[in-house]
A and B are shown apart, each in its own frame.
Chain A
Amino acid sequence: MSLSAVDRFLPAVFSGRRWALPPTLRYVFGRILGALLVLLIGAFIVFLTMKAAPGDPSLSALGEQAPPEAIAAFRLQHGLDQPVITQFASWLGQIAHGDFGNSLVVASGRPISNLILSRLPTTAFVGLYALTIAVLSSLVLGTVAAVWRGKMADMVATSIAVLGISMPDFFLAYMLILGLALGLGLFPSYGFVAPGDSLLGALHASFLPALAIAAPMAAVFARTLRAALLEVIRQPYVTTARSFGLSRAFTFLHFIFRNALIPYVTIVGLQVRYVLGGVVVIERIFGIPGIGSLMVDAAFGRDYPLVQACMVTFLAIVLLVNLLVDIACTGLDPRRSR
């Protein structure tokens, strides 16, 4: 995990007598600080890398034929003539106030924070929708495969899982469009309905993109759950529980499933990076106005401030999810916080 460096010294700082926080809280607090630190370093590296990029943002904003005076004025206006570290400091100061500056190319002059805020709910909706599909289907597939291991059901579930990993999500998206949208006409092949306008309409319109993002993930989740369940089933305490006369179902839910959920939740958290990656291409294919398509537009337009802001937003989402997963795992396995 990315936060281990911070962990290594944080407990020492907070375990002094004056800081007698309960261990779980102290752990969560340390995690939050660590995430903020990684975000800060990440933002700095993104900023530095962006500065080293070829191409001049003033040229892409004003056009190749722009007169030198206009370029000089543009550079002065956007602070591009300052030293890099000063630029970073002022950029960071602006971000702290929720101001990412203005978009240069994609939506010329519009504040980036507006752009991102207006698109964040869309991406969050599609991402959560996909995650829900992936979790529900993988819980069924993984459990079926583990309970009937080596039987037909296991073979089928495992084969679906391997196929799911082997199909790029954007290819799957087009196969779904071909079969379910163009062929059967069940779902639209393009466009987005905001869940605020009509929740059912939104679920219907975004079903294909969500399914395309979900399928490869569901495959990974199901494989993880299967392996974890098989590992736990072999544990002595499961045999003990059964020998006490507890029912198969009770043992499964209380002793096997709960413990198998720890690696499962960890993988689900790790895969959120994958969801966000998938979102980029899938949003583009289905014309969904989210952060992913915003970033692609920014990449094509060389809209540097916008690309930077998108990167930092993505990093922040990943760190937030990692944090939530860590907290969830601590809930499942209290030993972790010690």
Chain B
Amino acid sequence: MNSKFQIGAILRNRLALAGLAITVVVILAITLGAALMPHSEEDMDFVNLLMPPSLEHPFGTDAFGRDVLTRVLIGGRMSLMISLSAIALASVVGTMMGSLSAYHGGWTDAVLMRFSDLLFAFPSFVLALFLMVVLGFGTPNIILAIALVYLPIFARIARNMTMLIKEEPYVQAARLMGRRPLSIIVGEIIPNFSAPLLVQASIGVAFGIILEAGLSFIGLGVQPPTPSLGSIMADGREYFSRGPWVLTFSGLAISFALLGLNLLGDGIRDLTDPRLRERAAP
């Protein structure tokens, strides 16, 4: 084995580690950070309107004199909560849909997968926008919209993996023992592809954050005054030429969190997919 590959593997491991570290820092910051901040996200300071970053306000203040860092921490909590709930919903429903499709085949398969393909044929942001119009604005509806947009990806993975696994001897044994299909799927089949699901989930959470931010940014997502990363950026956009730091720092905060999630997803994939590890070897 030549040394180049080992260096690559360690580096890739390091990237995964970096991703994990960034993700942990982000989660700690948004869960505990706001409590440690001297300001509240609603505190208005009319003397310090739209102040550039300083020691007291590391991310500056917005047009109401509110501390942007505190708002980003609180808004980040909102964004992550929305994205996590959406991806949790999408992964459970999508995986079950895909697995049931593959396990039963026939009409179940045709109907469920055609539905998922159709969802997948629309541009994701356009579909989310459409769903927001249909469902009406509001946080639970954002979660539902993001979940529906991401559902086909889980369904597709689950279907392909279940197709591969369902004829394995241990699945047949479970069937002969008279276990119900649902119990076989949940107990025997899904655990076999938990790694790719985890990879997708971590990339999906990043995607959900972008989608929420985009929706809130154009004003169809989380409504002000509730802070979310997208609505803070939408706010900052109003006075971008006078106070670019509001949008810049909230955007950097999103990018930092996404970088962590993407690196983590890539890292898990590299570590768990032997085919990819092999591919990296020259």
Which chain B residue has the least Cβ–Cβ distance from A298? B133
- Selecting from B123-131, B174-182, B193-201, the interface stretch reads B123-131
| Residue of A45, A166, A275 most packed against chain B (CB within 10 A) | A166
- Residue of A53, A165, A273, A307 near B262 (CB, 8 A) is A165
Residues in B neighbouring A4, C-beta threshold 8 A: 117
Residues in A neighbouring B134, C-beta threshold 8 A: 49-50, 52-53
Residues in B neighbouring A167, C-beta threshold 8 A: 251, 255, 258
User: Does the CB pair B118–A274 fall under 8 Å?
Assistant: no
Q: Is A163 an interface residue (CB 8 A)?
A: yes
Which chain A residue has the least Cβ–Cβ distance from B234? A170
Residues in B neighbouring A1, C-beta threshold 8 A: 117
User: Does the CB pair B247–A162 fall under 8 Å?
Assistant: no
Number of A positions contacting B (CB below 8 A): 58
Residues in A neighbouring B110, C-beta threshold 8 A: 5
User: Does the CB pair A315–B248 fall under 8 Å?
Assistant: no
User: Does the CB pair B218–A38 fall under 8 Å?
Assistant: no
- In angstroms, Cα B134 to Cα A52, docked, is 7
User: Does the CB pair A162–B262 fall under 8 Å?
Assistant: yes
Residues in B neighbouring A53, C-beta threshold 8 A: 133-136
Q: Is A231 an interface residue (CB 8 A)?
A: yes
**A2-B118 CB under 8 A given contacts A234-B282, A296-B129, A307-B133:** yes
User: Does the CB pair B251–A5 fall under 8 Å?
Assistant: no
Which chain B residue has the least Cβ–Cβ distance from A313? B126
Q: Is A93 an interface residue (CB 8 A)?
A: no
A31 to chain B, nearest CB (A): 14
User: Does the CB pair A166–B258 fall under 8 Å?
Assistant: yes
B196 to chain A, nearest CB (A): 16
A106 to chain B, nearest CB (A): 13
- In angstroms, Cα B218 to Cα A285, docked, is 9
- Residue of B117, B126, B136 near A280 (CB, 8 A) is B126
- In angstroms, Cα B4 to Cα A162, docked, is 21
Q: Is A54 an interface residue (CB 8 A)?
A: yes
A144 to chain B, nearest CB (A): 16
- In angstroms, Cα B251 to Cα A162, docked, is 16
Which chain B residue has the least Cβ–Cβ distance from A314? B126
User: Does the CB pair A307–B121 fall under 8 Å?
Assistant: no
**A171-B233 CB under 8 A given contacts A41-B118, A42-B121, A227-B279:** yes
- In angstroms, Cα B240 to Cα A285, docked, is 12
Residues of B within 8 A of A (CB): 4, 7-8, 110, 113-114, 117-118, 120-126, 129-130, 132-136, 206, 210, 213-214, 217-220, 233, 237, 240-241, 244, 247-248, 251, 254-256, 258-259, 262-263, 266, 279-280, 282
- Please list 16 pairs of residues, one from A and one from B, whose beta carbons are closer than 8 Å in the complex, sorted by A's number: A5-B110, A54-B136, A162-B262, A166-B262, A170-B217, A171-B213, A171-B233, A178-B244, A182-B244, A227-B279, A234-B279, A274-B124, A276-B123, A277-B123, A280-B129, A284-B218
Residues of A within 8 A of B (CB): 1-2, 4-5, 38, 41-42, 45-46, 49-50, 52-55, 149-150, 162-163, 165-168, 170-171, 174-175, 177-178, 182, 227, 230-231, 233-234, 273-278, 280-281, 284-285, 295-296, 299-300, 302, 307, 310-311, 314-315, 318-319, 322
10 smallest CB-CB distances across A and B, nearest first, come from A277-B125, A171-B251, A276-B123, A2-B117, A166-B259, A166-B258, A277-B123, A53-B134, A273-B123, A299-B133
